[in-house]
Structure formats: C-alpha cells, structure tokens
Structure 1
Amino acid sequence: MLTAPPPMIAVIGPVEPPLLTSWVAHYHELGIERFLLAFHFPDHVPTDLRHELHATIRELGIIPTGCSTGPWHEHTNTQLRDALRATAGPGWHLIADADEFQQYAAPLHEITDHADRTRHKTVGGLLLDRISTSGRMTDWSPAQGLDHAYPLGGHLTHRLLYGDPRKIVLARHDIALASGNHRAPGHHADPAHLAAVHHFKWRSGILEDLRRRVTHFSSGTWQEHTPAVRDEASRLLTHLNDHGGAINFADPRFAFRRVSLDQLPYNWLAEAHTIHTTWRPRTPTARN
C-alpha cells in the first residue's frame, strides 16, 4: 500500500498567473494532492495582480491558507513557511518556491521510502538555473511552455552569484529548515540522491525585482540578516551590465546545456553529488 503523497508547502509572491498554473500542474504530475500555500505581496504589487492570483489558485481547486502584505523582510518567508508546516501536520513535507520545478529520479513515494530506510530525515536538491537561448530575461507564454522558453540549464546561482545552490526539497515535519530552504541544521541529505530543482527565475521582470531588493535591503526598508541576498542581486546586475544585458551562457563555468523537465540531465546524480559535497559559502574576505 502506497503512503499518501506529502503536502506541498509554498510561499507565493507576485508571480505571473500562468507560472502559478504551470507550477501546480507540474506538482500534480508528481502526485501532489494537497497544497498548503500562502501569498505575500509587498506594497508595490498592483491590486489587480493580487486579485488575479487569488482567482487563479481558486480556479485550480486550491484554497490559499493565508495572505499577507507589506515589506518582504528576509524572515518573512521563513515565518510564513513554518506556519504552513505546522498546519500540514506529521509526515513528510515537500517545500518549493513558485519558480522551482523539482525533478526526481524516481516516484516520490520511492524517494521518501528510501530516505526512511536510510534514516535520512531530509531529501536534498540542487538548483539548475534555466535561461533563454539568448541569455536575456525574456517573456514566455503558456502556449510555448517554460521548457521551450528557457531550454538551457546551468549553474548560475553558485558559480556567478556565489549563492547556496543546495535545497531541502523534502523534510520530515519535525525538522527545522533554514531561511530559503537551503539547509536543515543538524541534518544532512543524502548527496547521492539529489533532485534537480529547475529554477525558472530568470524571466522578464526579474531585473526590476532584483533592483528593488538591493534598494530596500540597503536602505533598511526590508530587514536582512546578512547582505547575501542583495550581494547576489548586485552580482547579477553587474554581470548583465558587462555582457550587454544578457547572461554569458557560453562561459564554461556555468555549464549551460539543453535540459528538459521530461528527464533528468545526463549524469545528473554524479554532477549534483560533486557540487553538493564541495560547495562552501564564501568567506567575508573572499566576498570583499
């Protein structure tokens, strides 16, 4: 007898409604039946978009658990996520952002069964940044789909932005997660069984969002624990300025190649294992 699939835990910001629709469809295909979602809208988000997102999620048969507005402090996501997890109850929880499409080497019940057998209380993933063939932050349409609009996958987050590419994608209910779902303090995911987390962040509109983060975190309008988020945003903006407004996908450091949500990238488990076990955060001296 198969165990029930884990509930989805997600905090949703002001994404475009078609992305939310595609995201829900993707996780339905993975077997997710229960979605515990909370919206958070900073003050700049138009009322029309807020109403449209609420209508979209309800048309998909999901009633949002909560909605908040105001500054997007660094702790905002963490607090909302943890409240959703408390509502979800015991068992495994699947955690994802709205631009993260997780991909596994086996059905979810096999993934969690294996973790239980090996006494792992978390399952890890690794970000695979998805970009357009031009490297520019382009629009996309539901007719073409995300795979077609952003067919290249590579390692932008840690090799350009020096961000943490590791993600906790599944966790037992009693395991606390760090900000951004990057770590579970005191627990280590099995590096030999890492999901690919297709990261569809680099779309039209993201540059305005990054500039807003730099401005608000620098001014203190939005509270931060460390300067990491705005530092990463600044690095991308500088890179784009140096490369005519596009990501330099030809740079071999980033290992961009054509990938798909239909199957794991070639040699993914070995590639992800190497990155996961060797990545270290930059020291303050290296950042400077």
Structure 2
Amino acid sequence: MLTTPTLIAVIGPVEVPLLAAWVRHYRWLGVERFLIAFHFPEHVPDRQRHALQAACRELGIIPTGTSTGPWHEHTNSQLRDSLRHTAGPGWHLLADADEFQQYPAPLTEMIAQAEKSGHRVIGGLMLDRVAASGRLTGWRPEGGLDLAYPFGGHLTHRLLHGDPRKIVLARQDVSVASGNHRAHGHRPDADRICAVHHFKWRSGVLDDLRRRVRHFSSGTWQEQTPAVRDEATRLLDHVGRHGGVINISDPRFAFRRVSLDRMPFSWPAEARSIFTTWRPYAHTGQD
C-alpha cells in the first residue's frame, strides 16, 4: 500500500501568510506529514521568528528544529539531510517555502509510475512567478498568490543562469545535491516533469539578495562556489537597468498567464526540452 510522501523543508524568514498558503497547497496535494526546520540569520527580529513558529503550530505542524546564525551555503543541505534521516523510509517531497509544486497526476499516481518504471526520483522545473507589472510587490492573502503574481516564465536559467531543474521527490536512500537540483546517478523521467511555481520575486527579495552578495563576498557566509552570489548579482543588475522591475516583455523569459489550478497546456514538451538540454552557464563576457 502506497503512502503519501513526507514533506521535507528548511524554512527561513518568510511571511506568515506565505507559510500558511504553502501548507494548504501541499495538504491539498495529499501530503499528511510535514518535517520542517526553521533557520534564521542574525538579522531576523525575535518577533518575526516567534510569529512564524507560532503560525506553524497553529497549522498543526510542530517544527522539528529551529536554528539561528549565518546562512552558509551548506546550512540548508545539512538541515535537510537531518530531516530526511528523521523521516525514515519511503518517498520524500523536497520543497522550499516559496515553491508550490504542480503535478500532471496525483502524487500517489506519480510515485506508483516512478516505481513501476524503476525511477527513484521525480523531477521538476522552476516556473518563476511575477507580478503583471514586473514589480517585486507584496501580496494580500485574501487575493491569493495567483492574483498577485499571475505571470510565469523562465527567469532562473535565462537571466540568472541558475539551474532550473529540481528533484521534487526522492526515495529515502537517494542522496540529493545542494539546492535539490540533482541526485547523482539518478535521472528523472523527462516526460513527467512537475512545474515548480517559484514565488521568490516578492517584496523584500532585493534586500535579501544584496545581503547575500555582501555576506558571501566578505566571507561572513561561506560559499561552495560563487554561483549563488553571481545569480543574485545578475538579478540586481537587471532590475537596476529596468527601473527596479523585472522586464517581463523580454521574449527570452516567455512570461504568460499561468495558474496553480491547472498546468500550462504546453508544459510537458516545454519542460522536457529545458530539462534535457540545460547545461551549466559558461561565462563568455556577454549577458
């Protein structure tokens, strides 16, 4: 008898309404067990930490752990792997708090199909969500995320040169790389790729990116490669050139109206094409 996967997440200082919407979304997908760890860098006020922890408990989830301190590049992976060890056997669903996964079939069906075909991981592809104006705005919980950020496109790899691929589900014994981007020795089925609606581009993210660049550059936060810092710098440079907004009219990004209620019609072919052809960015001196 198949059981639903355990959701594994390391969560930072997000808005309480985002956490609530995220939990509702995954419960709607059928997730019953959440293993969450909070990590808060030093700049986060006590009241924000306490509000998130209280909100988590009100949602019926007892955080597995809470830590504070620098957000080194390895911090997330270490906390995630500890949660996975606690979760034990079965399938693990891996999601950041700004990632809302959308599947072409129910979770139990996705897992059954993967096991039947011998796959030990299921893949996803990031679909970056932005406001219709391109501004990095806040949102009203009563309106919902689809109303506030109606456009979806390919910002992560086509502007930031980041890896848009995700391992969204993995069996307990499969090791997953930093950022959940890869699982060494395991290839997802490229014909059944989940859409990872990525609600990162909200109010406050520019301050977060500037802090990330500053702390990684100074060594306050330890990095494994300069990739994360470089991606943040590219986004900051882009909005600096475009009056503080993301240029949603740039055809490279393929922004269009999307919804959490239904997958984009073209998604299977679109996702397969990107998932199978993406390669790490080779800097040529031109962006």
Distance in 2, matches of 1:83 and 1:184, equals 17
Distance in 2, matches of 1:22 and 1:196, equals 17
- 1:233 corresponds to: 232
Structure 2 unmatched ranges of 5 or more:
none
- 2:55 corresponds to: 56
- Once the two structures are superposed, what CA deviation does each residue of 1:137-160 show, in whole Å capped at 9, x if it has no partner? 001011110010000000000000
Aligned pairs (5 A) from 1:58-97: 58-97=57-96
- Once the two structures are superposed, what CA deviation does each residue of 1:97-126 show, in whole Å capped at 9, x if it has no partner? 000000001000000000001100000000
- 1:253 corresponds to: 252
Aligned pairs (5 A) from 1:125-136: 125-136=124-135
Q: CA deviation at 1:282?
A: 1.2
Q: CA deviation at 1:164?
A: 0.2
Residue identity (%): 69
Q: CA deviation at 1:286?
A: 6.0
- 1:109 corresponds to: 108
- 2:171 corresponds to: 172
Distance in 1, matches of 2:105 and 2:86, equals 27
Distance in 2, matches of 1:275 and 1:94, equals 22
Distance in 1, matches of 2:218 and 2:140, equals 35
TM-score by length of 2: 0.99
Q: Aligned to 2:136, what secondary structure does the other structure show?
A: coil
Q: CA deviation at 1:283?
A: 2.5
TM-score by length of 1: 0.98
Q: CA deviation at 1:275?
A: 0.4
1:268 aligns with 2:267: yes
AA in 2 matched with 1:237: L
Distance in 2, matches of 1:16 and 1:118, equals 39
**Count of paired positions:** 287
Q: Aligned to 1:218, what secondary structure does the other structure show?
A: helix
- Once the two structures are superposed, what CA deviation does each residue of 1:173-193 show, in whole Å capped at 9, x if it has no partner? 000000000000111101110
Distance in 2, matches of 1:243 and 1:267, equals 29
AA in 2 matched with 1:84: L
Distance in 2, matches of 1:104 and 1:220, equals 39
Q: CA deviation at 1:285?
A: 4.9
Distance in 1, matches of 2:53 and 2:184, equals 34
Q: Aligned to 2:214, what secondary structure does the other structure show?
A: helix
Distance in 1, matches of 2:222 and 2:260, equals 35
Distance in 2, matches of 1:82 and 1:16, equals 24
Distance in 2, matches of 1:284 and 1:236, equals 16
AA in 1 matched with 2:214: T
Aligned pairs (5 A) from 1:136-147: 136-147=135-146
AA in 1 matched with 2:98: D
Runs of 4 or more off by more than 6 Å in structure 1? none
Q: CA deviation at 1:51?
A: 0.3
- 1:151 corresponds to: 150
Structure 1 unmatched ranges of 5 or more:
none
1:98 aligns with 2:130: no
Distance in 2, matches of 1:267 and 1:120, equals 24
Q: CA deviation at 1:287?
A: 8.0
Distance in 2, matches of 1:218 and 1:10, equals 27
1:41 aligns with 2:40: yes
- Once the two structures are superposed, what CA deviation does each residue of 1:66-119 show, in whole Å capped at 9, x if it has no partner? 110000000000000000000000111000000000000100000000000110
Distance in 2, matches of 1:116 and 1:189, equals 12
1:32 aligns with 2:31: yes
- 2:8 corresponds to: 9
